[in-house]
Structure 1
């Protein structure tokens, strides 16, 4: 994949507490803007092979499948729509979360890696928008993890 949007924030949580929340793949609608729910596909709910469908406003959805899992550290999700590959405008897309201990607190890095169907020009044109989305998810995740209050007004 040729483009990356990445942001990191410090969580006021020890690494074990941060991992306990991060590993729960059902929590994404509490901090990802626009999500209205989450349902797991049959199979595991964590680790490699876990897969979920995140529901969006207007009846839209996106499937996310765990393709990399490092216990206590993080994971990577492949973004797709069923067996049809990545949704428009992506040629390929993945999203990863990674934790790093900083003493009594934990740094989390969120990274979206992608290539777009429109090539490098489309990637250049949309880079700021994707960067802004990843930054908002990072800020919302921090607030949700530290307060347990949903940061997503779209979640019913």
Structure 2
């Protein structure tokens, strides 16, 4: 999980990733991910606890979080559990708009985000256990022409 260039192998709808200048691990590590709809998003590590987890802030350059969020981050927590390791992933976010719009949107977004986080977790587990990409939108060098 320390190699941030691996995300397109397991995050649904990512088609690529470019690392930004700066640190390659820990706080300040930053990447730009490309989405299947042609857009992109930047992700920067804002918190890091060795062997315990990290937080990635989602943003579009200096413009802040991507729509419809005013703030968004993805939190990874890692805990030993017997002979295995438990990975807990959550997305923390604040919606744009007035109070009523935020309440209505948040209920709907919670359903979408829970589903998305579950897909990422399933794909990540499969990728790291087998080494085989689980994101169908990402074409690796060996299968770009298929």
Shift >2 Å, 4+ stretches:
none
Whole-Å Cα distance in 2 between the matches of residues 135 and 58 of structure 1?
A: 21
TM-score, normalised relative to structure 1:
0.83
**CA deviations over 1:16-64 (Å, ceiling 9, x no partner):** xxxxxx1111111111000011111110111101110011113210100
- Name stretches of at least 5 consecutive residues in structure 2 with no aligned partner: 140-146
SS state at 2:41 partner: strand
CA RMSD across the alignment: 0.9
Counterpart Cα distance in 2 of 1:68 and 1:129: 25
Deviation at 1:110, TM superposition (A): 0.5
Q: Distance in 1 between matches of 2:66 and 2:33?
A: 13
> By how many angstroms is 1:124 displaced?
1.0
Which of 18, 33, 37 lines up with 2:16 in the alignment?
Answer: 37
Choose the corresponding residue for 2:30, options 51, 65, 70. 51
Match among 49, 54, 59 for residue 75 of structure 1: 54
Larger radius of gyration: 2
Where does 1:117-156 land on structure 2 (aligned, <5 Å)?
117-118=96-97, 119-156=102-139
The separation in 1 between residues aligned to 2:103 and 2:49, in whole angstroms, is: 31
Higher relative contact order (CA 8 A, sep 6+): 1
Query: How many equivalent residue pairs?
Result: 135
Distance 1:27 1:58 in 2: 19
Partner of 1:5: none
